[in-house]
Amino acid sequence: MLKRFLPNEHVKSIFDIQPEKLKQKGIKGIITDLDNTLVAWDVENATPEVVEWFKLMKENDIQVTIISNNNEERVTIFSEPLGTPFVYSARKPLRRAFKKVQKQMNLNKEELVVIGDQLLTDVLGGNSAGLQTILVVPIVQTDEKITQFNRKIERFILNYLRKKGKISWEE
């Protein structure tokens, strides 16, 4: 059961995810979370570094779609200037939105990776959909109320997995 919470990889930030490495793994598409994965949850627009990362992926023919549990206004304001497809109110960790994006991207499961900062939404959802997952360290340590609750559960799960020798990284 707890293996569904195990990401395939753990990195500090999206900037540690490079197209060459993704291509070596056969990855042609990224499904990424927005808040605390790409920018802090209370930052409206992409930073210049995030804009460059999206540009780098596009130049390397790697499709990127943003999938967020946040509302339409928040996700639209962030995604449209990037020219990036998105899904808002995704209801992660339910598989439906992940499957929808996979179909839109016209890629096989093996060609997709889910990137996010939360075990209970991004990793669980991606793993449940049969996709590869990369957990990133949250950009900021503050969160909205519902996410604060999720983080408490995440800490419990991470500590358990660490004790069982399933993960080796530190928070």
Query: Got the DSSP string for 20-43?
Result: HHHHHTT--EEEE--BTTTB-TT-
Q: In Å, how far are 64, 67, 77, 117, 154 from 84, measured between CA atoms?
A: 7, 11, 11, 19, 29
pLDDT for residue 140: 81
Could you give the CA distance from residue 122 to residue 130 in angstroms, rounded to a whole number?
Answer: 12
Write 54-59 long-range contacts (CB < 8 A, 24+). 54/82, 54/84, 56/18, 56/19, 57/19, 57/30, 59/19
Q: Is this prediction's pTM over 0.85? A: yes
HSE toward the beta carbon, residue 34, CA cutoff 13 A: 31
With the C-alpha atoms ordered 33, 36, 41, 46, is the resulting torsion angle positive or negative?
negative
Tens digits of per-residue pLDDT, 23-47?
999 999 999 999 999 999 889 999 9
Q: Are the CB atoms for 87 and 51 separated by under 8 Å? A: no
CA distances from 6 to 3, 72, 103, 135, 155 (A): 5, 29, 24, 9, 13
| Residue 144 pLDDT > 70 | no
pLDDT band at residue 135 under the 50/70/90 scheme = very high
Angle 164-149-77 from CA coordinates, rounded to 5°: 115
Encoded tokens for 96: 């439906």
pLDDT at 143: 61
pLDDT recorded at residue 55: 97
CATH of segment(s) 2-163: 3.40.50.1000
Angle at the Cα of 97 (from 92 to 98), degrees rounded to 5?
90
Residues 5-25 have pLDDT tens digits of 899 999 999 999 999 999 999
Q: How many angstroms separate the CA atoms of 3 and 164, rounded?
A: 11
Distance, CA of 93 to CA of 127 (rounded, Å): 9
**Tens digit of pLDDT for each residue in 61-105?**
999 999 999 999 999 999 999 999 999 999 999 999 999 999 999
